[in-house]
Structure 1
Amino acid sequence: MTTLNGREVYTRRALMDRYGMTLSPLEKWHRDRSVTGHPEAVGTVGRELVWDREEWDSWYQRRHDTRDLESRAELAARHGLALVTLSRMWSLREENGHPAPVKTVEQTTYWDAGEWDAWYADYRRRSQRRELDVDRSGNPDDLVTLSQAARILGVEPSSITHYPKNPPRNWPQPVQEEELPSGRMRRRYRRADIWHYADTRTIAGPHRTRHPNRKPKPEEEPHS
C-alpha cells in the first residue's frame, strides 16, 4: 500500500485494481467533485495524485449505499407498472409532484422507496377521484365548447385551454371550428368524444402529441 506522511493513500491505479474500475469514471468523479462529493486529493506521490484510503473508502461506500432506495426498474417491477409509464410520470413531474431522486449511481437513478410509495398511493387516489368527477349526463351527440368539455371532465377550464394546440393522447378533433371577431377560435366537440377521452386517458397523465397535418391556431375563446 502506498503511504504519504504515514497515511495509507490510493493512487488512481490502486483504485482501479482494488475496485475493478476503469480510469474514466474515477477522473469524472474527481472532476465533478462539487456535485459527487468526491474527496479532495491529499497530495501527490511522484506525479500522481493520491487520496486518503479511509476517506475514499468511506465516500465510495456511501455513494453506493442503496438501502431503502429503488431504481425505476425496481419500482416498476414491484408495482406491476411498465417502465414507459414510470418514465412518463417522471416527465410530468411538474404537474403531478413526482418526488426527486435521491442519487444516481453508475447511470442508474434511485428514489427513496417509502417516499415514492406514499406519492404513488396519493397519485392513484387523485387519479381515481378525477375519473369519478366525469359528468356522464347529456346526449352523446351534443356539441360542447372547450369550457363545457372541462366541466364534463371535472376540471378547471384553464387547465385544458392549451389542449387544442398541444393535445394529450386521445384528445378529440373538434367537430366545428368558428373564428370569432377577436380572431380566436371557438371549437365544439362531440360530448361522446369527450367521454371517450375521459375513459382512455392514462393514470400516468397526458402524453402530448400534435394532431397530424394540423397547424397551430389562435387560443380558444372562453365560452360557456
Structure 2
Amino acid sequence: MTTLDGRHVYTRRDLMTKYGMALSALEEWYRHRRWTGHPEAAGTLGRELVWDVAQWDLWYQQRHNTDNLITRAGLEERHGLARSTLERLWALREDNGHPEPVKTLNRVMYWDSDAWEAWYADYKQRTQRRTIDPDRTGDPEDLLTLAEAARVLGVTPVSLAHHPTRMPRGWPQPAEEHQLPSGRPRRLYRRADIWTYADTRTAAGPHRQHPSRKPRSADTTDPTPD
C-alpha cells in the first residue's frame, strides 16, 4: 500500500483499483468537495495528490449510507404522488418550505424520510381546503390579465399556473383571448369570475399513479454536482 511519512494513503490510481471508479468521478468529487464533503488531500507524492486511507474510507462509507433516506421514486411509491407534483413541490421550495436533500448521489437526491413525512403532513394541512381572501374592490366586469388576477387573490402568478395549459382546479375560462405579436396568447379574465374562484377554491389532492404506469428506475432530475 502507498505510504506518506509512514501513513497509509491513497492515490487516485489506488482508489480506481480498489473501488473500480472512473478517474473523472474521483476528480469531480474532489473538485466539488465544498458540496460533496470530500476529504482534503493529505499531501503529494511526486505530482500526485494523496488522501489518508482511514479518513477517505470513512467519508466514502458515510456518503453511500442511505439508511432512513428516500428518493423521489420512493416518495412516488409511498404517497402515490406524480413525479411532476414532486418536482413542482421542489421547484417552489422557497415558498412552501420543502426540505433540502441530505445528500445527492449520482445526481439522485435523497431526503431524510422522517423529516420529509413531517413536512408533507404539515404542507397538506396548510394547503387543503385553504381559503383565499381576495381584494373585493373594482368593477366585477373588469377584464384582468393573469398577473392582475394574482394580485386580486393575493398570490404570485406562478402559484396559479406552471404552464399555460395546466391551470389550478376550478380556474375560470378566459373571457377573452388575443394573440400577441410574439405568437403567445394573452388571456383576460372577468374580475367576478376570479372572485367566484376564490370563494370555491380547494387545493388539489395528490395525483394517483395510473395502474399501468411503470415506476421510474432512477431519479435524475437534479443537476447538483456529486
Cα offsets for 1:37-60 (capped at 9, x unmatched):
211222223432211100110111
The 1:17–1:187 alpha-carbon spacing in structure 2 relative to 1, beyond 3 Å, is: same
Q: CA RMSD in A?
A: 3.6
Instruction: Work out whether 1:21 is the aligned partner of 2:18.
Output: no
The 1:176–1:20 alpha-carbon spacing in structure 2 relative to 1, beyond 3 Å, is: closer
Per the normalisation by structure 1, the TM-score is 0.66
Contact 2:68–2:112 (8 Å) recurs in 1: yes
Q: What is the CA–CA distance in structure 2 between the aligned matches of 1:84 and 1:197, rounded to whole Å?
A: 25
The 1:59–1:202 alpha-carbon spacing in structure 2 relative to 1, beyond 3 Å, is: same
Q: Which residue of 1 aligns with 2:201?
A: 198
Q: What is the CA–CA distance in structure 1 between the aligned matches of 2:6 and 2:57, rounded to whole Å?
A: 18
Cα offsets for 1:85-127 (capped at 9, x unmatched):
1111111112222111111112111111111101111111222
More moved, 101-110 vs 41-50: 41-50
Provide the secondary structure at the position in 1 that maps to 2:125: helix
Matches within 5 A, 1:50-61: 50-61=50-61
Give 5+ residue unaligned stretches, structure 1: 136-142, 148-154, 178-184, 205-224
Give 5+ residue unaligned stretches, structure 2: 134-139, 145-150, 178-187, 207-226
Between the two proteins, the alignment pairs up a number of residues equal to: 179
More moved, 119-128 vs 52-61: 119-128
Give the structure, 1 or 2, with the largest relative contact order (CA under 8 Å, sep 6 or more): 2
Provide the secondary structure at the position in 2 that maps to 1:129: coil
The 1:5–1:100 alpha-carbon spacing in structure 2 relative to 1, beyond 3 Å, is: same
Q: Which residue of 2 aligns with 1:157?
A: 153
Provide the secondary structure at the position in 1 that maps to 2:128: helix
Percent identity over paired residues = 53
Q: Given residue 18 of structure 1, which amino acid in structure 2 is its aligned partner?
A: K
Per the normalisation by structure 2, the TM-score is 0.65
Q: Given residue 204 of structure 2, which amino acid in structure 1 is its aligned partner?
A: T
Q: What is the CA–CA distance in structure 1 between the aligned matches of 2:3 and 2:176, rounded to whole Å?
A: 80
Q: Which has the larger radius of gyration?
A: 1
